Amino acid sequence: METSDFITVLGREGHSLISAAEEAGLGSEVPTCPGWHVRDLVLHVGRVHRWATRHVAERLTEPAGLPEAEVPDELLGDWFRDGLHTLVGALDDASDDLRCWTFLRGTANARAFWARRQAHETTIHRVDAELAEGQALSPVDRDLAADGIDELLAGFHTRSRSRVRSPRPLILRVRTTDGAASEVWTMRLTEEEPSVGRGEEGDADCELSGPAELLYLALWNRLPHSGGLTVTGDADVLRLWREKSTIT
């Protein structure tokens, strides 16, 4: 996907998120974020959008802290939309030679990193808002979902912060079954941070396969590892994933 595609996704998913949040009601519980209500979800994403904007617009080379925000309920929707609009504008205006702080591998430049990261951040939390609303989920584009699997596995979970570890070496394989060609990730789990490669590498202890959209949401623990997905091998590997893979 191109950077411009991620920016388009960010804007669309942000508007869908706040619409679902307003439909659900700010006091509704978010089932996929234990302890959170919709108000907390909207505040979190709005703060993250402003945090990302600072790095892009101010070309910060060191990480900034998340901004504090105390917003009355009646102003929360406008506050969220304003932050979303500002972030989209900052990314639109940034050049591909932008230099600022980033925190994941796998993107060509800082502008591409922030557009990609915020597109996925907002998409996953849009799903949270729709689950709080109790309605059917809006679809996730297949290419976006496949890219999000790659960002999660090869980006987040190859960092030292990943808690997905095993005293016994294990291999988890993830395979898409839709699209023009299957995409495969092989994750090796040890007592160190995971390593992730593209393609089949060794015999998997467990394989999770299915359409990219369902894999994306299941690996982000927004949907169960069932219902349209196929699990082959040791299901305990997926239980380890669900218990340890939370991103903070």
What are the tens digits of pLDDT across the range 9-53? Answer: 999 999 999 999 999 999 999 999 999 999 999 999 999 999 999
Amino acid 39: pLDDT: 98
Into which CATH architecture does domain 142-244 fall? Answer: 2-Layer Sandwich (3.30)
Domain boundaries defined on the chain: 3-133, 142-244
Instruction: Find out whether 119 and 144 touch, Cβ atoms under 8 Å.
Output: yes
Nearest residue to 50 (alpha-carbon basis) of 63, 67, 64: 67
Mean pLDDT of the chain: 96
Rounded (10°) angle between helices 142-150 and 212-219: 40
Query: pTM above the 0.85 mark?
Result: yes
Write the pLDDT tens digit of every residue in 56-78: 999 999 999 999 999 999 999 99
How many angstroms from the chain centroid is the CA of residue 166?
A: 23
List beta partners, residue 230: 209
User: What's the CATH number for 3-133?
Assistant: 1.20.120
